[in-house]
Chains A and B, each alone.
Chain A
């Protein structure tokens, strides 16, 4: 990171690309660096400003307040051409010519989804505007996935490696609560990492989990059953609790506030059902049959229909070779599209009584599509035979069929 501390008047490298995994400190390092060195900079998140116009305008607005002037006025900037012009003006009026201006674009992978000229233009903004500016792109993916087909200016790439377990330990321990000693908290973090490091290396998430479960860890100490050095006892107390947390609150099966309330009341986490526990969906009678018919149509090949759904289908020919082939494939290949008429034909044969093809049946198909239990394949005209796919799993259909 010495690149930034160059002499301020010198022109810096036009664009820098920084990448690394989630929460490896890219944004944090950039922000602290720029603010402690008091470098003029603009920090923009590309997810938040989802169109190029918003993004460009936001940069210009932030630029106005860059050198201390408080009030900002709305800017109108429709194209990159305007941007270059307005940018030059802004730099001149803010008197920033004599030092390097930094534009940091966080979550830069979003730039790829904007107009094709945006990314290459940002990469050579220095050349285009003829000002002392450096664009820093922060992203979680590698540069190779950015490079446009037409070629562009190659930025200077820097890789932020993941934190090792030792790093995580150190960072997490730094923010210990004021009531307890750092050593005590460090021991806690050790246990926490022992449980969670396998599944989660996200610093933010780990810190969140540490805060959620610390009260439970302190419990024996607060009640006077153990002192702060009694690590074994504390470990015994917290370890099953953390494991449970990994299955519930970490997966967002139950919310963190519910988790805290549970801890507070001393209840068992078992009594609170997670989101995945509510899998049962109650469906109207014919919807159930429609869904079953759709499932059958999606996973059975067409030629077996006659065999399965006709009363007088003749002999079932034993074709061992074919059967073996089918058994391995059908569920692994996923659902296949089927036309509406096939669905209805299967429906008529699996429902005992006669089903009138009323508008209600058809609207049920549509509502199954809106519920995402079926999906429409190919958005073409409704008139020539719409095709559907069944998107539910075998377990779900079993529950429905029961």
Chain B
């Protein structure tokens, strides 16, 4: 059903776009502030003594973005968009791979700057700035003359239309991947541009993936002293991911859900391999694609309002599909026999029931998310985080199985029973806030109950203050020597064991028990819900296959076990296998250096066994020309695949490049 898929994936990308925009807002605002400050100082007070005396440095923003290089592209695109809207039309993005030398850098820079100028001007019919591209001298002086000319045009235009840019907008040059630029290029560029900073108000932005130390490593002091570097740090990628999970997975507004194993695969790839939020999102989108492709009932995976319409238009086959779902079967078994028959035979009854079940599922989600957040408030402040610090870990734990049956949950309850009052009160307040934020009426009672707890705590305070004062007085009196102190402590311990619980402790137990009951009621794993297959994507193995490509393993399987791919009769390497497989198998038995002649002998023996064994050729020493040719081809294929290379040590030998030789 293509349309539901499109709706789903469009919603997803829309949502993501919004998140991305919000996330980088703070950073981009800071940057824009820096840029607008950078050259205005000089424009305002050029006559002042300090300004005349000071060496005019190039304003430089060092933008630390983290090691997830794949995500940087998006950030830079957003950045240059914002710059072009707010500050200056002249933004150039440079990449290290385009700039092996200063000449290429200048070419690239001028190309980008002058083209953007033409774009601006193409709306009007002023052609005075358009220079023929092919015959521009690629030097700073031509850049300056270009800048002068566009500035003049800008000023003329400004009179009749109020522009967002200023009189002389700065020229922003962004170095996307600072680490990969060669020292020479950067140094030369900085030296050149610092000589013309008065005529060309340049601002540099260094995109740094590792740490700002790289600036000192790349630039000597004589060059870095030409810069006025300020540091900007972007949001860490882990926080970025948390927000995305929070906004994308832990909401009920988005019909599609991923199961525990799938989520685990995606998160593992993120944490173990690349830290790339983009890849995480792509993985998530792949899940959507895969779900709609493989699950015929994904038609029903849509917003709640559309469910009824979709359910009514189900065909008989699709109804049969519903009946085949394991979760639905479990549901049917629990029903009384009359309903069982109706569900299994009557299509329209089934459709009604399906709508009801899907609505239930939706309600379950809403409740689940809220209670999950409440539980996270508690677990995230416990020492050692038995259920994980991040909400994603808690989410995974809850999806996996009944969380209240796990040891971690037990220990976190234990810990929660030892929380102090102020923490407990703030947590309860947070929970109330979370529950109040929901639109449904489900939790009115719950939040009432929590509020009641809060008032009880407040009442406690009054009564407890008296106790406290008595206790502290007593303690002061007893503060004599070590021996006595030890004794009193022991006594205290004894008394605590036997003593009845204080009011506060009673209340604390009550609160924890109440939270526990909420968890048991609402945090049921999704697998237990009927019709969860419709919205949950749970085939992690498919995803793993797609995302965790293992080229070496695949190659080895293909060569060692060709019928895996060829789907022919199997069992070891027979002589019918492709030549390259035979050659590969033989080479596995050799050491680091392989004698080609021996190899050929072995190869021909294996191959000849396939041909008629009674042929005369087998007896003769001479190897058949065809076999020789086939061998040579197999060898060169292996060389291309990187298993062997010709060695210089011995002429008729090749060297193995893979280890594991005996």
Given A208-B55, A364-B273, A384-B642, are A275 and B213 also a contact pair (CB < 8 Å)? yes
B549 touches A359 (CB 8 A): yes
Given A275-B212, A372-B214, are A359 and B550 also a contact pair (CB < 8 Å)? yes
Q: Of residues 185 to 215 in B, which have CB atoms within 8 Å of A's CB atoms?
A: 188, 191-192, 195, 209-215
A256 touches B642 (CB 8 A): no
- A128 CB, min distance to chain B CBs, angstroms: 24
Nearest to A370 among chain B residues (CB) is B180
Nearest to A372 among chain B residues (CB) is B179
Provide the bound-state CA to CA distance between A178 and B209, in Å: 46
Say if the beta carbon of A32 comes within 8 Å of chain B: no
B139 touches A283 (CB 8 A): no
Chain B: how many interface residues by the 8 Å CB criterion?
72
- A398 CB, min distance to chain B CBs, angstroms: 15
A47 touches B50 (CB 8 A): no
A275 touches B50 (CB 8 A): no
Provide the bound-state CA to CA distance between A48 and B103, in Å: 10
B642 touches A383 (CB 8 A): yes
Say if the beta carbon of B377 comes within 8 Å of chain A: no
A257 touches B139 (CB 8 A): no
Provide the bound-state CA to CA distance between A283 and B237, in Å: 10
- A49 CB, min distance to chain B CBs, angstroms: 6
Nearest to A22 among chain B residues (CB) is B222
Given A47-B191, A212-B54, A281-B210, are A360 and B548 also a contact pair (CB < 8 Å)? yes
Provide the bound-state CA to CA distance between A282 and B275, in Å: 9
Partner-contacting stretch, out of A50-58, A87-95, A228-236, A237-245: A50-58
Provide the bound-state CA to CA distance between A207 and B270, in Å: 50
Chain A residues with CB under 8 A of B231: 273, 275, 278
Contact with B along A273-312 (1 / 0, CB 8 A): 1011011111111110000000000000000000000000
- B520 CB, min distance to chain A CBs, angstroms: 33
A367 touches B140 (CB 8 A): no
Contact with B along A178-190 (1 / 0, CB 8 A): 1100000000000
A341 touches B659 (CB 8 A): yes
A360 touches B269 (CB 8 A): yes
Q: Of residues 70 to 116 in A, which have CB atoms within 8 Å of B's CB atoms?
A: 74
Residue with the greatest number of chain B CB neighbours at <10 A, chosen from A45, A48, A373: A48
Provide the bound-state CA to CA distance between A34 and B215, in Å: 38
Say if the beta carbon of B169 comes within 8 Å of chain A: no
Given A22-B222, A58-B141, A258-B230, are A282 and B274 also a contact pair (CB < 8 Å)? no
B273 touches A284 (CB 8 A): yes
B236 touches A54 (CB 8 A): no
Provide the bound-state CA to CA distance between A373 and B548, in Å: 24
Say if the beta carbon of B53 comes within 8 Å of chain A: yes
Nearest to A373 among chain B residues (CB) is B210
Provide the bound-state CA to CA distance between A255 and B58, in Å: 10
Which of B215, B236, B553 is in CB contact (< 8 Å) with A282?
B236
B192 touches A48 (CB 8 A): yes
- A72 CB, min distance to chain B CBs, angstroms: 10
Residue with the greatest number of chain B CB neighbours at <10 A, chosen from A51, A212, A345, A383: A383
Nearest to B53 among chain A residues (CB) is A211
- A270 CB, min distance to chain B CBs, angstroms: 16
Nearest to A252 among chain B residues (CB) is B224
Say if the beta carbon of A314 comes within 8 Å of chain B: no
- B102 CB, min distance to chain A CBs, angstroms: 5
A275 touches B195 (CB 8 A): no
Which of A211, A280, A362 is in CB contact (< 8 Å) with B54?
A211
What's the count of A-B pairs with C-beta under 8 Å? Answer: 172
Say if the beta carbon of B489 comes within 8 Å of chain A: no
A281 touches B275 (CB 8 A): no
Nearest to B551 among chain A residues (CB) is A359
B273 touches A257 (CB 8 A): no
B230 touches A255 (CB 8 A): yes
Chain A residues with CB under 8 A of B211: 278-281
A204 touches B55 (CB 8 A): yes
For this complex, into which size category does the number of interface residues on chain A fall?
35 or more
Which of B137, B229, B550, B639 is in CB contact (< 8 Å) with A255?
B229
Say if the beta carbon of A4 comes within 8 Å of chain B: no
Chain A residues with CB under 8 A of B658: 341
- B240 CB, min distance to chain A CBs, angstroms: 12
Say if the beta carbon of B41 comes within 8 Å of chain A: yes
Chain A residues with CB under 8 A of B222: 22
Say if the beta carbon of A197 comes within 8 Å of chain B: no
Which of A178, A202, A205, A367 is in CB contact (< 8 Å) with B49?
A178
Chain A residues with CB under 8 A of B549: 358-360
Chain A residues with CB under 8 A of B640: 383
Say if the beta carbon of A357 comes within 8 Å of chain B: yes
Say if the beta carbon of B67 comes within 8 Å of chain A: yes
Say if the beta carbon of A251 comes within 8 Å of chain B: yes
Say if the beta carbon of B62 comes within 8 Å of chain A: yes
Say if the beta carbon of A334 comes within 8 Å of chain B: no
Contact with A along B619-655 (1 / 0, CB 8 A): 0000000000000000000011010010000000000
B53 touches A286 (CB 8 A): no
Contact with A along B217-237 (1 / 0, CB 8 A): 000011011011111010011
Nearest to A342 among chain B residues (CB) is B659
Which of A47, A205, A371 is in CB contact (< 8 Å) with B192?
A47
Say if the beta carbon of B527 comes within 8 Å of chain A: no
Chain A residues with CB under 8 A of B37: 257
Say if the beta carbon of B117 comes within 8 Å of chain A: no
Say if the beta carbon of A29 comes within 8 Å of chain B: no
Q: Of residues 134 to 188 in A, which have CB atoms within 8 Å of B's CB atoms?
A: 175, 177-179
Nearest to B138 among chain A residues (CB) is A54
Say if the beta carbon of A267 comes within 8 Å of chain B: no
Given A178-B49, A258-B230, are A364 and B139 also a contact pair (CB < 8 Å)? no
Provide the bound-state CA to CA distance between A50 and B271, in Å: 45
Chain A residues with CB under 8 A of B238: 282
Which of B230, B271, B548 is in CB contact (< 8 Å) with A284?
B271
Nearest to A250 among chain B residues (CB) is B225
Chain B residues with CB under 8 A of A384: 642, 645, 657
Provide the bound-state CA to CA distance between A357 and B552, in Å: 7
B137 touches A57 (CB 8 A): yes
Q: Of residues 60 to 116 in B, which have CB atoms within 8 Å of A's CB atoms?
A: 60, 62, 64, 66-67, 69, 102-103
Provide the bound-state CA to CA distance between A215 and B640, in Å: 69
A284 touches B274 (CB 8 A): yes
B229 touches A252 (CB 8 A): yes
6 pairs across A/B with beta carbons < 8 Å?
A: A214-B50, A258-B230, A278-B231, A360-B548, A364-B274, A367-B274
Given A51-B103, A281-B211, A284-B271; 17 other pairs, CB 8 A cutoff? A22-B222, A45-B195, A177-B50, A255-B229, A273-B231, A275-B62, A276-B213, A276-B216, A279-B211, A285-B271, A285-B272, A285-B273, A286-B273, A359-B550, A371-B69, A371-B179, A384-B657
